[in-house]
Structure 1
Amino acid sequence: MSAIAFDVLLVTALIWSAVRALSVRNLFRAVILFIVFGLLMALAWVRLGAVDIALAEAAIGAGLSGALLFDTVGHIRARKKGRSP
């Protein structure tokens, strides 16, 4: 019974983080929510028994993509302030 409750909680958290990441106005918060979504998705892959896909999701989806998005947010903020990065 607790496994089903955990799966329902995981799906709810996935949907919530995806909707919030797409609807939030602050870019920094959107990137944070994107990383949270990637980590929750990796956890979902582990629950499904696909550990190799979970590792790739955590490394590429949350780690590398999150770092690139943070860099992009920094460039956007610098450009808005009139400075060249």
Structure 2
Amino acid sequence: MIGIILVASFIAIIIVAFASIVEKRLADSIVLSMGVGLGSVVLFFIFQAPDVALTEAVIGAGISSVIFLMALKHLKASL
């Protein structure tokens, strides 16, 4: 069962990462990159590393995505 979840999570991360690269709209690309971080959280939990998973969720998927979205908002406001 864990093997199926592991493979599915890995494939989902690759698909979402590719979608993030080819996405034309920057805001959508940022949200998709947040999805890559959340997929990594699942993998870290599967590998029994809850401390790393929590750090990735808070910093990797949370704070950095919010900072990128705020920067994008300020860039659009200055144009």
Q: Shared fold by TM > 0.5?
A: yes
- Name the structure 2 match of 1:72: 71
Distance of 2:55 and 2:15 partners within structure 1? 22
Once the two structures are superposed, the pairs formed by residues 9-24 of structure 1 within 5 Å of their partners are: 9-24=8-23
Give the Cα separation in 2 of the matches to 1:44 and 1:3: 10
CA distance in 1: counterparts of 2:17 and 2:8, whole angstroms: 14
CA apart distance, 1:20: 1.1
The higher-RCO structure (CA 8 Å, 6+ apart) is 2
Paired residue for 1:83?
none
The separation in 2 between residues aligned to 1:53 and 1:24, in whole angstroms, is 28
Q: CA RMSD in A?
A: 1.0
Percent identity of equivalent pairs: 27
Matches within 5 A, 1:1-85: 2-80=1-79
Return the offset for 1:79. Answer: 2.3
Q: Which piece of structure 1 moves more, 5-14 or 54-63? A: 5-14
Larger radius of gyration: 1
| TM-fit CA distance, 1:36 | 0.9
Which blocks of at least 5 consecutive residues in structure 2 are unaligned? none
SS in 1 for 2:24: coil
* Runs of at least 4 residues off by over 6 Å: none
